[in-house]
Chains A and B, each alone.
Chain A
């Protein structure tokens, strides 16, 4: 009884903090983009616009949900629910600090890859069940883009597995105590970051959204909470991908001590959060700075550059580790 009660408290704690994080990421994106374009951004609701995400959420809940007459209602409603759920569920295995993890699952990284693969289904479901041409074309594009970059993402994760000798996320971070994997795996780290951008359908790879040709991609027909759930799921995935980058390549919660500041008290999670925030800032910065890719360029980048390069890196890393007897 006490166990399940504690579990409920832990789960709710995770979910609520995650939802708050998503809400303020949306605000941060708007604020940072505004600063980069020399605007003010939202600054009316609350002090400096801090309450803007809550106002937006309230507005979306009060909007009227439209069910298109030609849609398959069950799949149409299931798609946003699934996107949002998968965005939340993936967080169960992310360690925020040593021992600060919801479930220290040994196949944690495999669990995350499985969750991100299932994510493609909800896009296809949304596009197909809307029975609208724009939504259908948008979902085809998104799905093709996501699965193309998932292959190179998986291969890069394999090089990390080879270096760490484990697919438990805590063990992967602990394996980086001497050297963060971004240094020996620098070229694939760049590819990993770019694949994350493509995987979350973010700029400059936000073709599914291409507002000039496809209006808004697979979620044109959604309004009210259906739209909000897609939106929140997408941002949850953004934070998830940044944390994944941090855990796999940037040493997770492991600290850096410049200028001999080693005597400062160590607050749990601080380093992890700072690295994640840095990556999220890069996400937003990229969106403000780069124009959108063309679809054929996007696909050929994924299949003819990232895939062969990451395949070669798997062979190179495994060969080097075996030859020099460096296997963990």
Chain B
């Protein structure tokens, strides 16, 4: 029952945002010089959908792993009172495996932003 007002709230705030962005389009359109992508005064050389640094990708992969771990921790944290020592130790085993993985990544240089992992042959 608590979710119904939240749904209503979401709809109203979506409407508000759409109205606000819609209002700005009531004025005149823009000229041809303004609509090219911004690149310090000259015309853009090429498309921006280019190659990018692999480490951003690596960070997002690591994020998925750790966020899953955190998500797995939530129900455990709430119910620790009822699951006792067995529940506690099973989580600690899971946690240790992940920590070993984490230190492996760290040693491999996945968390190192000074030099690229490819440079060091990792």
Which positions in A face B, CB cutoff 8 Å? 4, 7-8, 10-12, 14-15, 60-71, 77, 80-82, 84-85, 88-89, 92-93, 102-106, 110-111, 117, 128, 130-137, 140, 143-144, 147-148, 150-151, 154-155, 158, 161-162, 165-167, 215, 220-221, 224-226, 228-229, 295-296, 299-300, 303-304, 307-308, 311, 314-315, 318-319, 321-322, 327-328
B20 beta carbon closer than 8 Å to chain A = yes
In the complex where A131-B49, A158-B70, A315-B95 touch, is A80 in contact with B111 (Cβ < 8 A)?
no
In the complex where A85-B14, A221-B38, A226-B21 touch, is A321 in contact with B48 (Cβ < 8 A)?
no
Which residues of the partner chain B approach A61 to less than 8 Å between Cβ atoms?
A: 23-24
Which positions in B face A, CB cutoff 8 Å? 2-3, 5-6, 8-10, 12-14, 16-18, 20-21, 23-25, 27-30, 34-39, 44, 47-50, 52-53, 56, 59-60, 62-63, 66-67, 70-71, 73-74, 77-78, 80-81, 85, 88, 92, 95, 99, 102, 106, 111-114
Decide if the interface of chain A is mainly helix, strand, loop or mixed: helix
Decide if the interface of chain B is mainly helix, strand, loop or mixed: helix
Which residues of the partner chain B approach A12 to less than 8 Å between Cβ atoms?
A: 12
In the complex where A63-B24, A81-B18 touch, is A131 in contact with B37 (Cβ < 8 A)?
yes
Q: Is the CB of A161 within 8 A of B78?
A: yes
Once bound together, how far apart are the Cα atoms of A134 and B50, in whole Å?
12
The closest CB in chain A to the CB of B49 belongs to: A131
Once bound together, how far apart are the Cα atoms of A281 and B15, in whole Å?
31
Which residues of the partner chain B approach A8 to less than 8 Å between Cβ atoms?
A: 8, 12
Once bound together, how far apart are the Cα atoms of A155 and B28, in whole Å?
49
Question: Nearest Cβ in chain A — how far from B58, in angstroms?
Answer: 9
In the complex where A85-B13, A85-B14 touch, is A225 in contact with B23 (Cβ < 8 A)?
yes
CB within 8 A of A299: which of B27, B49, B92, B111? Answer: B111
Q: Is the CB of B111 within 8 A of A11?
A: no
Which residues of the partner chain A approach B25 to less than 8 Å between Cβ atoms?
A: 65
Once bound together, how far apart are the Cα atoms of A53 and B16, in whole Å?
19
CB within 8 A of B17: which of A85, A140, A161, A166? Answer: A85
Q: Is the CB of A147 within 8 A of B21?
A: no
Q: Is the CB of B67 within 8 A of A150?
A: yes
Which residues of the partner chain B approach A148 to less than 8 Å between Cβ atoms?
A: 59, 63
Contacts beyond the supplied A151-B63, A158-B74: 15 A-B pairs with Cβ under 8 Å: A60-B24, A84-B17, A88-B17, A89-B6, A132-B37, A133-B39, A155-B73, A165-B81, A215-B38, A220-B38, A225-B20, A299-B59, A318-B88, A322-B88, A328-B81
Question: Nearest Cβ in chain B — how far from A315, in angstroms?
Answer: 7
